[in-house]
């Protein structure tokens, strides 16, 4: 389920698994704008799903009918308080394969950790961070929200952070 009470960005990649089985696929989620949404059980949070060409495929989709799917590849996220998170999704599943919390950032997660990989990297600074495996995107979004959100970083600053 895409939890609308945690900050999310329009255009978030989601997998639709609702009652219209012929449309089960991956889409981008946006706030529904049909003005007809009213659900006394699940509240008024509904979504509009678009395809890769930004064409609306479905309106009035309940949050329980979609699951957030991580963007493919690696991504460095800088939080407003200066902490950083690196996410990796190489497998294309609905979970991040790896989420690295850079030194100074912590999370109270029950997800498995890979401390051996950090140690074997040979970088003593990396070994101070935490590497979680199989993390749902909602947990990453909640952690970002707890730290005041993420900031856009220009290309030069990004290169300095990666160095």
| Domain chopping of the chain, boundaries | 12-68, 73-162
Interval 45-82: pLDDT, tens: 788 899 888 899 988 888 878 877 777 778 888 898 98
d(CA 63, CA 123): 42
> For residue 11, what is the DSSP state?
T
Nearest CA among 50, 80, 44, 78 for reference residue 62: 44
Distance, CA of 108 to chain centre: 17
Between 9-18, 37-46, 112-121, the lowest mean confidence (pLDDT) is in 37-46
Above 60 in pLDDT, residue 43?
A: no
């Amino acid at each position: 389920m895409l939890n609308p009470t945690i900050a999310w960005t329009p255009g978030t990649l989601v997998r639709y698994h609702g009652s219209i089985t012929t449309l089960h696929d991956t889409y981008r989620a946006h706030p529904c704008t049909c003005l007809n949404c009213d659900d006394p059980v699940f509240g008024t949070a509904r979504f509009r799903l678009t395809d890769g060409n930004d064409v609306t495929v479905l309106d009035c989709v309940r949050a329980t009918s979609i699951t957030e799917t991580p963007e493919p590849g690696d991504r460095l996220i800088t939080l407003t308080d200066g902490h950083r998170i690196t996410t990796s999704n190489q497998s294309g599943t609905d979970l991040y394969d790896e989420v690295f919390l850079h030194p100074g950032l912590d999370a109270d997660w029950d997800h498995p950790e890979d401390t051996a990989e950090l140690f074997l990297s040979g970088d003593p600074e990396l070994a101070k961070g935490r590497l979680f495996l199989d993390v749902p995107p909602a947990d990453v979004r909640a952690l970002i929200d707890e730290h005041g959100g993420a900031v856009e970083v220009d290309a030069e600053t990004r290169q300095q952070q990666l160095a």
